[in-house]
Structure 1
Amino acid sequence: MRGKWAGPAGLFLAVAFVAAGALGAWQPATGLPEEVLQLTQFGPALGVVAVAAWRPGQVRRLLAGRGGRGPSGPVLLSAVAVTAVAVAGAALCGVPVAVRDPGSLAAPFGVVAAAQLLGACGEEVGWRCLLQPLLRERFGPWASSVAVGLAWGCWHVGVFTRSPAYAAGFLTATVAMSVLLGFAWERVGRWRLPVAGGFHALVNLGLLLFLDQESGATGPVLLFGAACVLVALPWVLTSRRAARAGRAGGPDSIALI
């Protein structure tokens, strides 16, 4: 069993980290503003390509997904809720946040939104469509979600150049979002990439317009992490209730986790 997940997972992570660093170094030469699109986001996609070159059948199976015909709307609404809860928390706690005028962005807002979705899908094809189901088969929904959330957070190596509190808030957010998407996985099934990419893009747009993540201010990021935990909690509780109902109902019942 170890050889079926450890090798692909290790290769994916190695390529995702190295490729992201190389793409980030190349970005200034392209003249592409980072608030429009960060080339580092395609590091995980290149990790998928590397694993597919080694184990194409396994990658095809993981990317295809399984089951899941539930509505995707609640997942996308959860992304909007993350920003709303964080902004409400900032207002309640008196934490200053810099709200951006969409017209002040480096490109028209529609272009930025489309580019953010493209970049988010470049990440999520690796994190949510390859690595998370790969680990889920071996470790289950909880451990796989937390592990991918930590790896995803650490992949954003720039957060560790900030204060420890900033890094802790950011890692809390990535783990909570990974858990949310992990527990939504059974409902989404084959639509994981557009749904996870849409969720990711909406969160990034919320950070860009309302929470000024790139400023390095600790308060907004701590609120962002707390908001992600609060928004993920109903998904966890609902899935746990469904799992208990499935065990009580016997073999004909369907559990979400």
Structure 2
Amino acid sequence: MRCSAGLDHDSEQWAERKRVLTAESSSRWAGSITKATHDQWALARRGQLAHIQSLQAGIETITHRLSRPVGEKGTKQAPGGYRSTREWHAKRRRLCVLEDRLQAVRADREAAVVRVVRGGKRLLNTRHHLQEAQLTEEQWRARWQAGRRFLAADGESGKRFGNETIRVTPDGEVSIKLPAPLAHLANASHGRYVLTGRVAFAHRGEQWTDRVAANRAVAYRIHGDTIRGRWYLRRPGRSPLSRPSPWRRPAPAA
């Protein structure tokens, strides 16, 4: 829904997306999902702009070198010509390719079209090169599912330990506020599920402890690492407390 809205997205559409998700989960999780999809769209837009700038820089460099005599040496201020006629013709074809790509990407940007792959395009393309990546289809599938699966929740100042959705106590206990359709799986009061493992922030742990003790907002993100066989809890953002904390895989609910 976020990608289809394009540049016409506004607060009303944001609220509508959240209302639709709230009916299937809860207001808290709906807000988290809505923000995550919007952030992914914004990241794709920034990547799209960076790609356009990269193509423009490549076109300018090739155009300049094609305009110089073959074999001309460059200077510190500008590159010279290509070393041979064969290379000149190859770069001329390369220039046409880059110009076509730039035209297509510019058209997408003007139409507010982005292409988002949950799990990442690189991992998606690896599916077609399993032998080169030294992966079996089962191993790739496990990484693909892990890359597309995560939990994230923004913090809330004034709430207990700074986050009502994903709560981490000063002694490392992690609990998750389950949405209404999953409330029957709760193993603690108030619809919460407490994980069996505990976390510890080795990097600036004292600052994190002071923050949660004062009920100041703390955002968390939980994701799995199939290579190490671990789950990680990370505090996202440009923060000195953003390094991840690993813990053992929690046991499944009985």
TM-score, normalising length from structure 2? Answer: 0.26
Higher relative contact order (CA 8 A, sep 6+): 1
The structure with the greater share of residues assigned to helix is: 1
TM-score, normalising length from structure 1? Answer: 0.26
